[in-house]
């Protein structure tokens, strides 16, 4: 039997749609725990027709796309490519002092054109048996999840166009370009709402999803969709918290100012702190751990672009008092950076 552990998955950013990346040293390969990367055939049965009998008479392949869905433990290099794919833009990497050091901070955010995102070429080999490539792939969803005393974990979904079978793998060199870097740990995480006000988080998630509808992309004369256009983005944070005081509960359930009466307004807070560190340093001279941080627009009160709600508290015998808190990211009323993910790693160049 062929072991799944021999499988290969890598990706490289394209310069443009319709221009697959074929440069071997630009691909980054990743470790993952489970997943699929495959063509997705649109199989179309022939309509039922009177006089033809009881049985289905024909099925054809009317079109094809490509799909990848992976569950993985994020590492500091490969996750940068996926963040760029789901958010669309990155600022210039900033070297963290000292200037002779090896740590760089990358800030991923929406591009100037909020409906844009890069295309990727994906390389896949199930069990290392054969090679396939998929071009014009876009990141459709990227989610992170964590619980106490565990790794930060993630899932990613990509959708794209033309699959190419039976690709020679001689020059792929996945071992050379495999991201074997350290992991991020929930044990070294920080969750504060607002910043500097710690909450007791048992587990949580942070998800960014793109709406890429296909209903108006199938065009006459082609087996492949015309494009993978982005209609909208959504970002949501969900936290399971231990409740030990009424302060945060009152702000989210009743009154953002923590008053004594119910109000229709919701709690807005974009200046929160949600960060996960590695137990290894990107720079040792001035100790700087590998890290990833999720951020809103950094503002408070009505100018904040993250709105927070809390679920009703359900009580269970023999259990702690807990509640689910949800932060929904909105368009920022004052600045362009509605959502930012900051990554510290050893990658010098822009992705």
Domains of the chain by residue range: 7-44+61-345
Rounded to whole angstroms, the Cα distance separating 296 from 298 reads: 5
**Of the candidates 335, 307, 351, 272, which has an alpha carbon nearest to the alpha carbon of residue 86?**
351
The answer to whether 308 and 237 have CB atoms below 8 angstroms apart is no
Per residue in 341-350, pLDDT (tens digit) is 999 999 998 7
Per residue in 18-46, pLDDT (tens digit) is 999 999 999 999 999 999 999 999 999 99
The answer to whether 27 and 11 have CB atoms below 8 angstroms apart is yes
How is residue 259 written in tokens? 């008053």
Tell me: cis bond preceding 133? Omega within 30 of 0 counts. no
- Per-residue b or e along 48-84, where b marks 16 or more CB atoms closer than 10 Å to that residue's CB: eeeeeeeeeeeeeeebbbbbbbbebbbbbbbbbbbbb
Rounded to whole angstroms, the Cα distance separating 234 from 345 reads: 26
What's the Rg (C-alpha) of the chain? 23
pLDDT band, very low/low/confident/very high, at 165 (cuts 50, 70, 90)? very high
Between the CA of residue 156 and those of 30, 68, 326, what are the distances in Å?
A: 12, 8, 21
DSSP 246-262: SHHHHHHHT-TT--SS-
pLDDT for residue 218 is more than 90: yes
What does the mean pLDDT of the chain come to? 95
Per residue in 277-321, pLDDT (tens digit) is 999 999 999 999 999 999 999 999 889 999 999 999 989 999 999
Per residue in 310-320, pLDDT (tens digit) is 999 989 999 99
Rounded to whole angstroms, the Cα distance separating 157 from 139 reads: 6
Rounded to whole angstroms, the Cα distance separating 50 from 48 reads: 7
Between the CA of residue 30 and those of 261, 322, 348, what are the distances in Å?
A: 52, 36, 19
Which residue shows structure tokens 């079978």?
165
Rounded to whole angstroms, the Cα distance separating 55 from 302 reads: 63
Q: Is 136 exposed, middle or buried (0-12, 13-18, 19+ CB in 10 A)?
A: buried
Alpha helices in 185-289 (DSSP H): 247-253
**Of the candidates 29, 24, 26, 23, which has an alpha carbon nearest to the alpha carbon of residue 8?**
29
DSSP 2-29: --GGG-EEEEEE-SSTT-----GGG-EE
Give me the pLDDT at residue 269, please.
96
The answer to whether 88 and 120 have CB atoms below 8 angstroms apart is no
**Of the candidates 96, 92, 107, 106, which has an alpha carbon nearest to the alpha carbon of residue 285?**
96
**Of the candidates 184, 158, 228, 206, which has an alpha carbon nearest to the alpha carbon of residue 10?**
158
pTM: 0.95
Residue 99 φ/ψ, nearest 5 degrees? -65, -15
Give me the pLDDT at residue 173, please.
95
pLDDT for residue 351 is more than 80: no
């Amino acid at each position: 039997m062929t072991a799944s552990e021999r499988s290969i998955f890598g990706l490289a950013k394209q310069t443009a749609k319709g221009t697959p990346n074929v440069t071997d040293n630009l691909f980054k390969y990743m470790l993952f725990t489970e997943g699929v990367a495959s063509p997705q055939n649109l199989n179309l049965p022939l309509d039922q027709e009177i006089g033809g009998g009881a049985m289905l008479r024909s099925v054809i392949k009317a079109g094809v796309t490509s799909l990848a869905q992976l569950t993985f433990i994020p590492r500091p290099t490969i996750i940068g490519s996926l963040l760029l794919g789901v958010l669309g833009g990155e600022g210039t990497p900033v070297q963290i002092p000292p200037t002779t050091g090896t740590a760089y901070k990358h800030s991923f955010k929406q591009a100037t054109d909020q409906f844009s995102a890069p295309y990727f070429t994906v390389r896949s080999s199930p069990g290392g048996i054969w090679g396939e490539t998929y071009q014009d792939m876009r990141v459709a969803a990227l989610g992170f999840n964590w619980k106490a005393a565990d790794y930060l974990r993630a899932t990613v979904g990509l959708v794209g166009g033309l699959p190419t079978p039976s690709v020679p793998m001689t020059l792929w060199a996945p071992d050379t370009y495999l991201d074997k870097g350290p992991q991020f740990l929930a044990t070294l995480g920080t969750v504060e709402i607002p910043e500097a006000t710690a909450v007791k988080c048992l587990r949580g998630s942070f998800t960014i999803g793109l709406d890429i509808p296909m209903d108006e992309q199938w065009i006459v004369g082609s087996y492949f969709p015309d494009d993978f256009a982005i209609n909208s983005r959504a970002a949501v944070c969900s936290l399971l918290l231990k409740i030990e005081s009424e302060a945060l509960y009152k702000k989210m359930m009743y009154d953002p100012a923590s008053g004594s009466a119910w109000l229709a307004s919701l709690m807005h807070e974009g200046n929160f702190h949600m960060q996960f560190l590695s137990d290894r340093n990107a720079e040792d001279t001035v100790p700087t751990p590998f890290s990833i941080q999720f951020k809103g627009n950094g503002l408070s009160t009505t100018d904040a672009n993250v709105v927070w709600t809390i679920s009703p508290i359900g009580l269970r015998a023999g259990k702690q008092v807990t509640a689910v808190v949800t932060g929904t990211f909105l368009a920022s009323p004052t600045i362009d950076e509605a959502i930012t993910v900051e990554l510290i790693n050893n990658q010098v160049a822009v992705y």
